[in-house]
A and B are shown apart, each in its own frame.
Chain A
Amino acid sequence: MTGPVLEIRDLGIAFGGLKAVDRVSFNAQRNRITTVIGPNGAGKSTLFNLISGALKPKSGQLLIDGVDMTGASPARTKAAGLSRSFQITNLFFELTVAENLRMAAQVLEPKARAFLPLGRSIRALAKTREMLDRFQLGHKRDELAGNLSHGDQRRLEIAVCLASEPKILLLDEPTQGMSHADTADTAKLVRELSKDVSVLLIEHDIGLVMDLSDHVVVMHQGRKLAEGPPAVVRADPAVQAAYFGHH
């Protein structure tokens, strides 16, 4: 497989008269970090909802790894290899850290194991341990996810997305509300991740975006304003007027 991992063609949705996402097209390349930026209300999160199946597009087409997934349910896009995080932390707060990860990793097991004792899901349990180690959550494995600090919850959220071994990872503002130190750690983490998974990112921290991204898509009022490598996008006068001009 060499084509783009995610192809978005003329994707659109309107709420009432408002075109929240208006015929947006771009590709996300394999094992690269593609970042969507834009001012508040530009339609970034709506775009993520369209891609992950949370919303059904009114127009356009969506291909995951070359397979048409337009209008597919979240469970189906997940099965196609797409995993997403949420802008507002979305975990099983009443369950332990380990159980949050195990739930996500369980999809790696054959369906027939669904009715066998948990201990038989060897791959899911191994993946859980791997994620606990990789995200340094091992010492908190038996804590309830709801009792973690904000930074730990954001990290667990990424770990949960990764536990199912997706082809493409959608991260919706992973550094939202994080301290400077945590933000830097997360940036490092995302860069590491992109070695074996394609990343599509929504991010507000422009410094981080320019530093991290291979490809940047700029959205403004539901439309794609520009796309290209960070340096090219930064130099684009239209982008400067619409986005950087406000800063």
Chain B
Amino acid sequence: MRDRLTLSMRASHLLALIFVAAALALAAIGAASGDTFYLRLGTEALIFAGLALSVDLLLGYSGALSLGQALYFGIGAYVSALTLLKVPSFWLAMAAAGGVTLVASILGGLIANRVRGVYFALITFGLAQVVAKVVYNTRELGASDGMIGIPVIEIGFGPVSVSAGNPVGFFLIVLAIIMGLYGLTAYLLDTPFGRVLTALKANEKRVPFLGYSVWRARMFSYVLAGLIAGLSGALYPMLRGFVSPELMFFATSGNAVISVILGGVGTLIGAIYGSVLLVVLKSIIGSWTEHHLIVIGLIFMICVMFLPKGLVGFIRPRIEERLLAGAREPAAPSFTSAQLEPGSAKP
């Protein structure tokens, strides 16, 4: 069955493939030239892309703007750091970060999902700020300095292992994890459950009269988003060797929202493109002027004015047209004539 939302998702997948191909090519160039700086910058961009992905899941699909998604990113980072300081195991750190963010996002969801719209944004903002301040003032967690000296770990896959200190190796691992999270989210959004989220964004008041629990759907998407943010955050101390309360601050949450808007709300892959774009812009403009935030603010405003659907939001409809044209060919194997009436084809 030809389905507009499935088609959009397919267009996103195509852009995801292009992204992975470009990332692999850049990794190869980086490895060949012995680069460290850009590979590690790229890895950081990917880690923040995971945070942006979780923001887009909430904002682009269920229609809930979270201004405090860095809370779960930060919790993931701190739990990962604490675990690695005790036991330098990648898998244990990921499992611990996942478990704790799961619990934290259930608690946060119970609070935040009592309200909608701008109040949801304010509650998520408030929750993140409160926890960030607590961390900022807790000596056991390094207080305002954060925690340093997190060991460089070996990431074992059965017989082989890759060092997190290896710029290319760790870049590839992070790329695989973030694209895995993208794949999982994209899959879920194209299931009946995912469509309930889309329906929430389109007309939340109608949803209960179709027999779906609004609360349950919102809760599930919130917890899933928290988990994605937490797992992404868990990678951060492995890359940088430290964590600091700034990871939970509004600037981090805000950057994720900006990434999503730059890349295109409700496109998923746009969050990843947007995040990479933002990190690259910051790095390039930051090397020219210390007032780089002003320049980024201007770019953001120009983007909102002239590309209100973001980069991917602008490009994706064109890809959809192509995919649709391809599907309309009579030889296309996956469509039967009964499913694709010629009369309903778009002009």
Residues of B within 8 A of A103 (CB): 195-196, 199, 210
- Known: A75-B212, A104-B210, A118-B190; 9 extra A-B contacts, CB below 8 A, are A75-B213, A92-B203, A95-B199, A96-B4, A103-B210, A107-B211, A109-B192, A118-B191, A142-B4
Q: How far is the CB of B61 from chain A (nearest CB, A)?
A: 12
Residues of B within 8 A of A96 (CB): 3-4
Which 10 residue pairs are nearest across A and B when measured between Cβ atoms? Answer: A78-B211, A74-B208, A92-B202, A114-B193, A107-B211, A94-B202, A75-B208, A114-B192, A106-B192, A74-B209
Residues of B within 8 A of A115 (CB): 188, 191-193
Q: How far is the CB of A119 from chain B (nearest CB, A)?
A: 7
- Say yes or no: is A52 at the interface (Cβ < 8 Å to chain B): yes
Asked whether B3 lies within 8 Å of A98 as measured between CB atoms, the reply is: yes
Q: How far is the CB of A25 from chain B (nearest CB, A)?
A: 24
Residues of B within 8 A of A102 (CB): 195
- Say yes or no: is B116 at the interface (Cβ < 8 Å to chain A): no
- Say yes or no: is A164 at the interface (Cβ < 8 Å to chain B): yes
Residues of A within 8 A of B195 (CB): 99, 102-103, 106, 118
Asked whether B202 lies within 8 Å of A118 as measured between CB atoms, the reply is: no
**Closest chain B residue to A170 by CB distance?**
B209
Asked whether A91 lies within 8 Å of B1 as measured between CB atoms, the reply is: no
- Say yes or no: is A121 at the interface (Cβ < 8 Å to chain B): yes
With most chain A CB atoms within 10 A of its CB, the pick from B190, B192, B198, B203 is B192
Selected interface stretch from B94-102, B269-277, B286-294, B339-347: B339-347
A: number of interface residues (CB 8 Å): 42
- Say yes or no: is B161 at the interface (Cβ < 8 Å to chain A): no
- Say yes or no: is A26 at the interface (Cβ < 8 Å to chain B): no
Q: B residues near A, CB below 8 A? A: 1-6, 187-188, 190-193, 195-196, 198-199, 201-203, 205-206, 208-214, 341, 343-344, 346
Residues of B within 8 A of A93 (CB): 202-203
Residues of B within 8 A of A141 (CB): 344
The answer to whether residues A124 and B346 also contact, given A78-B210, A84-B209 and a CB cut-off of 8 A, is no
Q: How far is the CB of A23 from chain B (nearest CB, A)?
A: 26
> How many inter-chain contacts with C-beta < 8 Å in the A-B complex?
95
**Closest chain A residue to B200 by CB distance?**
A92
Residues of B within 8 A of A160 (CB): 210
With most chain A CB atoms within 10 A of its CB, the pick from B188, B190, B198, B203 is B203
Q: A residues near B, CB below 8 A? A: 52-54, 73-75, 78-79, 83-84, 90-96, 98-99, 102-104, 106-107, 109, 113-119, 121, 124-125, 138-142, 160, 164
Q: List 12 A-B contacts (CB under 8 A).
A: A53-B208, A75-B213, A92-B202, A94-B202, A95-B198, A98-B3, A104-B210, A107-B210, A115-B193, A117-B190, A118-B3, A140-B344
Asked whether B199 lies within 8 Å of A78 as measured between CB atoms, the reply is: no
Residues of A within 8 A of B210 (CB): 78, 103-104, 107, 160, 164
Could you tell me the distance between the alpha carbons of A172 and B214 in the complex, rounded to whole angstroms?
A: 23
Residues of B within 8 A of A124 (CB): 192
Asked whether A139 lies within 8 Å of B341 as measured between CB atoms, the reply is: yes
Asked whether A90 lies within 8 Å of B192 as measured between CB atoms, the reply is: no
Asked whether B346 lies within 8 Å of A142 as measured between CB atoms, the reply is: yes
Q: How far is the CB of B75 from chain A (nearest CB, A)?
A: 26
Could you tell me the distance between the alpha carbons of A140 and B341 in the complex, rounded to whole angstroms?
A: 11
Residues of A within 8 A of B205 (CB): 90
Could you tell me the distance between the alpha carbons of A81 and B212 in the complex, rounded to whole angstroms?
A: 13
**Closest chain B residue to A161 by CB distance?**
B209
**Closest chain B residue to A81 by CB distance?**
B211
With most chain B CB atoms within 10 A of its CB, the pick from A84, A93, A115 is A115
Asked whether B192 lies within 8 Å of A121 as measured between CB atoms, the reply is: yes
**Closest chain A residue to B196 by CB distance?**
A103
Asked whether B5 lies within 8 Å of A99 as measured between CB atoms, the reply is: yes
**Closest chain B residue to A102 by CB distance?**
B195
Residues of A within 8 A of B196 (CB): 103
Residues of B within 8 A of A118 (CB): 1, 3, 6, 190-192, 195
